[in-house]
Amino acid sequence: MDKGEKFKKGVKRAREGWFSTVVHLFDRATVGQALWDELEELLISADVGVNTTAKLIERVKERVVSERLKEGPQICTALKEEMIAMLRVDTPREEPVALASLEPRVILVVGVNGTGKTLSIAKLAYSFRAQGKSVIMAAADTFRAAAIDQLKILGNRVGAEVICHQPGADPGAVVFDSLEAARSRHADMVIIDTAGRLHTKFNLMEELTKIKRVVSRSDPQAPHEVLLVLDATTGQNGLAQARYFTDAVGVTGVFLAKLDGTAKGGIVLAICDELKIPILFVGTGEALDDLTPFDARTFVEALSS
């Protein structure tokens, strides 16, 4: 299944829900204020958010005037193009980790419990293994024995070594040992799983900051990616999570998990617009190969096809 087909699978519910309604809005003979009001309501209900919705509609309206667009399909095309532009976050960054050739690469993965973080890590490892890369996964979520066990099981499935300590151990020590193991084994990739206990925000922030320091002491350029796993079904709450983790550890990209489980998905626009954080990967199912590198145009085309 190619990228386009995976995106179609992932956004099927959103495509058949709010976006098909958006497209049909532009079937009308005339475009007036009633249409813009309905479009605003649809976008907000799809988790695009109030601020991003207002900005998106304003951009389309400006194009209607400047390009003298009169027909509904033309305006709908302008909307899609503005969505694509909004999803293309222009930030100074190294080559995306999925394409990077420098080794070893260190990916610090953060996110709240229940987002599908551990499975998302396994999907990344599976993808890198398919590229012929050796992968070490660090089980630094030491507060949940189940998280360690799950990572070990998934590591065995994908062919990645898992470095772990006993439950309750110091996460920083796990990370240190994982980086040492990666050096001694000449591993290509290190993916670090972390805790996500939002009910103790301050302690979690301190813990993540410490882990990042351990990584940076090992390699001043690392972590090469700080990847936030967000559950696409959480809606605007995902925006608050993104802000929180960005403040704590400087998120550089988002892995949007469970995209196939929501009839909305507009949160991607809000994240890119308000936080200027790029979506790097999307999860489109439960299988290990249900991972797709994010592409703005392919995503929007899948929504509308």
Confidence of residue 200 (pLDDT cuts 50, 70, 90): low
Per-residue confidence (pLDDT) for residue 101, from 0 to 100? 45
pTM of the model: 0.90
- Coil, strand or helix at 12: helix
Mean residue pLDDT across the chain:
88
| pLDDT digits 0-9 by tens, 97-110 | 544 444 689 999 99
Q: Say if residues 155 and 99 touch (Cβ distance below 8 Å).
A: no
Per-residue confidence (pLDDT) for residue 99, from 0 to 100? 45
Q: Say if residues 142 and 174 touch (Cβ distance below 8 Å).
A: yes
Q: Percent of the chain scored above 90 by pLDDT?
A: 56
Confidence of residue 127 (pLDDT cuts 50, 70, 90): very high
* pLDDT tops 80 at residue 90: no
| pLDDT digits 0-9 by tens, 41-50 | 999 988 899 9
Least confidently predicted of 16-30, 126-140, 154-168: 16-30
Least confidently predicted of 16-20, 60-64, 112-116, 247-251: 16-20
Domains of the chain in start order, with CATH, are 3-87 (1.20.120.140), 105-251 (3.40.50.300)
| pLDDT digits 0-9 by tens, 248-296 | 899 999 999 988 777 678 888 999 999 999 999 999 888 999 998 999 9
* pLDDT tops 80 at residue 28: no
Per-residue confidence (pLDDT) for residue 259, from 0 to 100? 81
The kind and range of the H/E element at 59 are: helix 50-66
Per-residue confidence (pLDDT) for residue 111, from 0 to 100? 93
Q: Say if residues 144 and 164 touch (Cβ distance below 8 Å).
A: no
| pLDDT digits 0-9 by tens, 287-302 | 999 998 999 998 888 8
* pLDDT tops 80 at residue 91: no
Mean of pLDDT values over 227-241: 88
Mean of pLDDT values over 164-186: 95
* pLDDT tops 60 at residue 96: no
Q: Smallest Cα–Cα separation from 107: which of 149, 170, 160?
A: 160
Mean of pLDDT values over 89-118: 74
Confidence of residue 244 (pLDDT cuts 50, 70, 90): confident
Per-residue confidence (pLDDT) for residue 126, from 0 to 100? 97
